[in-house]
Amino acid sequence: MKRGLLLLVSFVLGFNLYSQSDTSYIHTFGGIQDDGCKQIQATPDGGYITIGTTNSFGVGNTDFYVIKTDSLCNFKWSRTYGGPLNDEGFSVTNTRDGGYAFVGFTDSYGAGGYDVFLVKTDGLGNVEWQKTYGGSNWDFGYSVQQTNDGGFVICGLTYSYGNSDGDVYIIRTNSVGDTLWTKTFGGQGYDVGNQIAVRHDSLYIIAGATTSYGVGDTNAMLLQINDKGTIEWTKTYGGDSNNFRFNSVHLTPDNALLMYGSTDSISDSVHSNSYENEYFLKTDTFGVPLVAHDMDSPQEGFGADARQLADGTFITMGSNESYGAGQLDFHIYHLNSSSFFIAGPTFGGVKNEMVGSMAFGKNGDVVFAGSSNTYPTYSAGLYDVFIVRVTSTNLFGGYDTVVTRFIDTTQWLSSIPKVQFKVGVTVFPNAVSSLATILVQGSDFEKYAYNMYDINGNRIINNAPLNSIGHGQAVAKFERGNIPAGEYLYEIISNGSKKVASGKLIIE
């Protein structure tokens, strides 16, 4: 497959947030369909590597989308990995041999349904080996790290093992991806591991969310697991409302833990959230809170990543509707060591900029990566990979922004027709006696609801919402109530009008 490219002329936009000025550099990458970034990492050569998902390129439907850049975020190469169905990338780690490992999930390969998908490449992105992990139901990989013995540790979510509503899924492999052990953690609700950090040779920290433990509906969660697969401790963090989750975890210079996520669970005389907002928490080495901050804002906000700098201050990254040019924009906070506000620039256009993660370059730059559908300023079609590079950790000042758009023109293989993104749906149990779960695997960018019809075509449930649980998944509890036994048809509706999937539901 040949790869063509077109580099568009750079242009300048003014972001006059404060009286002092600086320069930021925005780089976008992608094609005419949806292309996004979930994680960016600095590489040993001073550049960056990104992992996400593309609907523009590859061998069918969606594939892992990997972009390698130099230290200034200029394009060096890109690769796709996957098969004819849905394959989505979430996490990347540098490997000790100069290559990379990427994790996500696949519907193209594996045991059945979705499976965890681990791809190992050399330093140029050429595949050395790939492995799948999971059972007959749905299994997802969301974060990967390499261990000191050259192996890998992965966390995510499984519906194949543990309890049926989803458990944290932890996989430990050797250096060629063979499974050494697996572990699940969870209760009768939904439990997910969103990111894993390696503390040292024998300990891993996983951050995520749980509906099985804690107070309220969804609680943020930390767990520590050793290299034998034994869970040493768990902590939950929650409030008085519905949703509280951690999306990232990092070790701080003083050996503490730093998490960033989202919540609508903080409500007191200072904070009264009617929307989901970004949430920052630093704990000691055992998960005991030290510093916390709810980034209270009048509209939706989603927290993705946070880091502590050598001077004790913090930089956080989220998407927020309350500030910026319109809809969701990148919102960057610089906080002092007590988590009080120093500065808060935004980056983005009139539509949505969805956050992925941040990284720190060897040259002192900070980069923030995700996806944008602001067309034509940033996006070439639908969503494109969106990277903001600032030349200092000092985030004071307004920004004159230099924008460089790179249109990746890789063509589809002629033997495989291009298809639209497929939405996966499962209902469990099916047949239903009293209560069932409807689970959708779709897009981060869409909201889902469902209708239900009897065999005569009468609609008995209309536009019932499914609640987003992250990573493109949405879930609803179906209560049978007084509905008679028999066969029924459900249909999944996206964004209020578009039918994206349907199937049979049996009530016994």
Average pLDDT over residues 269-274: 49
Average pLDDT over residues 269-286: 77
* 241-275: b (≥16 Cβ within 10 Å) or e: bebbbbbbbbbbeeebbbbbbbbbbbeeeeeebee
Are 173 and 181 within 8 A, CB to CB? no
Whether the full predicted model's pTM is greater than 0.85, yes or no, is: yes
- Nearest-CA neighbor of 300 among 262, 356, 245? 262
Tell me how crowded residue 2 is: count the other CB atoms within 10 A of its CB.
Answer: 6
- pLDDT at residue 505 greater than cutoff 90: yes
Question: What is residue 266's predicted lDDT score, i.e. its pLDDT?
Answer: 57
CATH number (domain holding residue 501): 2.60.40.10
* 468-495: b (≥16 Cβ within 10 Å) or e: bbbbbbbbbebeeeebeeeebebbbbbe
Close Cβ partners of 122 (under 8 Å, ≥ 6 residues apart): 97, 98, 99, 128
Amino acid of residue 358: M
- pLDDT at residue 447 greater than cutoff 60: yes
- pLDDT at residue 14 greater than cutoff 70: no
* Residue 466 in domain: yes
- Nearest-CA neighbor of 134 among 195, 204, 182, 68? 182
Find the angle CA(245)-CA(30)-CA(43) to the nearest 5 degrees.
Answer: 65
Q: By mean pLDDT, which of 19-28, 179-188, 301-310 is the weakest?
A: 19-28
Dump the DSSP string for 258-288.
EEEEEES--BSSS-B-SS-EEEEEEE-TTS-
Q: Which band of pLDDT confidence, cut at 50, 70 and 90, is reported for residue 3?
A: very low
Q: Which band of pLDDT confidence, cut at 50, 70 and 90, is reported for residue 63?
A: very high
User: Which of the listed residues 85, 113, 133 is the one where a domain comes to its end?
Assistant: 133
User: Which of the listed residues 116, 133, 150 is the one where a domain comes to its end?
Assistant: 133
* Residue 230 in domain: no
Bond prior to 417 in cis (omega within 30° of 0)? no
Q: By mean pLDDT, which of 66-70, 185-189, 310-314, 322-326 is the weakest?
A: 322-326
Average pLDDT over residues 102-112: 94
Q: Which band of pLDDT confidence, cut at 50, 70 and 90, is reported for residue 414?
A: very low
* Residue 221 in domain: no
pLDDT digits (tens, 9 = 90+) for 196-227: 999 987 899 999 999 999 887 889 999 999 99
* Residue 479 in domain: yes
Question: What is residue 420's predicted lDDT score, i.e. its pLDDT?
Answer: 57
Amino acid of residue 412: W
The number of CA neighbours under 13 Å toward the Cβ of 97 is 14
**In the 3-class helix/strand/coil scheme, how is 176-211 assigned residue by residue?**
CCCEEEEEEECCCCCEEEEEEEEEECCEEEEEEEEC
User: Which of the listed residues 133, 148, 178 is the one where a domain comes to its end?
Assistant: 133
Residue 16 vs residue 460, higher pLDDT: 460
Residue with tokens 């050494």: 180
Average pLDDT over residues 488-508: 93
What token pair was written down for 262? 């989202």
pLDDT digits (tens, 9 = 90+) for 133-145: 999 999 999 999 9
Close Cβ partners of 426 (under 8 Å, ≥ 6 residues apart): 113, 137, 138, 159, 438, 439
Average pLDDT over residues 78-104: 96
* Residue 114 in domain: yes
* Residue 435 in domain: yes
Question: What is residue 422's predicted lDDT score, i.e. its pLDDT?
Answer: 73
Q: Which band of pLDDT confidence, cut at 50, 70 and 90, is reported for residue 240?
A: low
Torsion sign across C-alpha atoms 365, 394, 144, 423: negative
- Nearest-CA neighbor of 287 among 370, 352, 183, 199? 199
Gyration radius from the chain CA atoms:
22
Total of domains in the chain: 2
Dist CA 473 CA 142 (whole Å): 13
For residue 491, the enclosing domain spans 424-507
Residue with tokens 């034994």: 230
Q: Can you name the residues that pair with 479 across neighbouring β-strands?
A: 435
- pLDDT at residue 470 greater than cutoff 90: no
- pLDDT at residue 327 greater than cutoff 60: yes
- Nearest-CA neighbor of 106 among 72, 58, 153, 148? 58
Average pLDDT, the chain: 88
Torsion sign across C-alpha atoms 429, 430, 431, 434: positive
Question: What is residue 469's predicted lDDT score, i.e. its pLDDT?
Answer: 85
Question: What is residue 340's predicted lDDT score, i.e. its pLDDT?
Answer: 87
- pLDDT at residue 16 greater than cutoff 70: no
Question: What is residue 265's predicted lDDT score, i.e. its pLDDT?
Answer: 64
pLDDT digits (tens, 9 = 90+) for 138-176: 999 999 999 999 999 999 999 999 987 899 999 999 999
The number of CA neighbours under 13 Å toward the Cβ of 484 is 4
Amino acid of residue 123: G
pLDDT digits (tens, 9 = 90+) for 451-461: 999 999 999 99
Q: Which band of pLDDT confidence, cut at 50, 70 and 90, is reported for residue 464?
A: very high
